[in-house]
Amino acid sequence: MLAGLAFTGIRRVRFLPDSYQIVGRAADGLHSDVEIEPLPLAVHFTVEDTVRAAGLLAESGAACIVTLGGDGTNRAVAKACGDVPLIAIATGTNNVFPQMVDGTLAGIAAGLIASGHVPSTLARRTKRLEIWLDGELADIALVDVAISQHPFIGTRAIWDPSTVHELVLARTEPGCIGLSSIGAHLCPLAREDERGLHIHLGDQGQPVSAILAP
């Protein structure tokens, strides 16, 4: 990815440090003039690090953000990145939102956007689900919102579908894994589709076989 960025003339890359030191190790083998520096954040290796990093990048004028992760990582970034174009590379558990793409190609794409050779207006604005409580925006989701009987789920994955009695889905593409795969068997919706899907689950109705986890 860094090689792709360097190829397009990008000279500065800022990143969120991670426990595997992915960027640092990749930079060790990069022979270019690209300035690679960590974001000035106290890192605790939690999802809040991702939210704060996305907000800082947006505030500092980042021209493009590249993510390595799954639906949860990209949801955290989307909460704070504003209108900054996002290239989401699938490396997570559930990868409905991000896509499998070669790292070098992703770097070139990010570099072309950041350098202005490709206008950011060509980027597709994705759908999102908003959760409102008492008239205030409480949270967002990019793929699905589940209403579950299980206490204290928060933003974690749900492994037992028997605890879920409602789903709101932004996309339901065949071949995806997770709760959205339930909707894919009922009404497939592509990421470009302006519609969403609301499903009530229970003992009655149409049964489907869906893959909820890898």
Can you tell me the distance from the alpha carbon of 159 to that of 157, in angstroms, rounded to the nearest whole number?
A: 6
Q: How far is CA 195 from CA 20, 121, 127, 129, 178, in A?
A: 39, 22, 9, 11, 19
On whether the CB atoms of residues 132 and 148 are closer than 8 A, the answer is: no
Give me the chain's average pLDDT, please: 92
- Domain ranges within the chain, ordered by starting residue: 2-122, 129-200
- Statement: residue 153 has pLDDT above 60: no
> Each residue of 105-133: pLDDT tens digit?
999 999 999 999 999 889 999 999 999 99
At 120 the pLDDT is 87
Which 3-state string (H, E, C) describes 121-187?
HHCCCCCCEEEEECCEEEEEECCEEEEECCCCCCCCCCCCHHHEEEEEECCECCCCCCCHHHHHCCC
- Beta-carbon contacts of 171 under 8 Å, excluding residues fewer than 6 positions away, are 96, 127, 143, 180, 189, 190, 191, 193
Measured in whole angstroms, the distance separating CA 121 from the mean position of its chain's CA atoms is: 19
Can you tell me the distance from the alpha carbon of 19 to that of 9, in angstroms, rounded to the nearest whole number?
A: 28
- Looking at the chain, the whole-number percentage of residues with pLDDT higher than 90 is 73
Q: Any bridge partners for residue 67, and if so which?
A: 88
At 91 the pLDDT is 95
- Identify the three-state secondary structure at position 48: helix
Which residue intervals of 46-150 are DSSP H helices? 47-59, 71-78, 103-114
**H-helix or E-strand spanning residue 65:** strand 65-69
Q: Determine the CATH number of domain 2-122.
A: 3.40.50
> Each residue of 38-66: pLDDT tens digit?
999 999 999 999 999 999 999 999 999 99
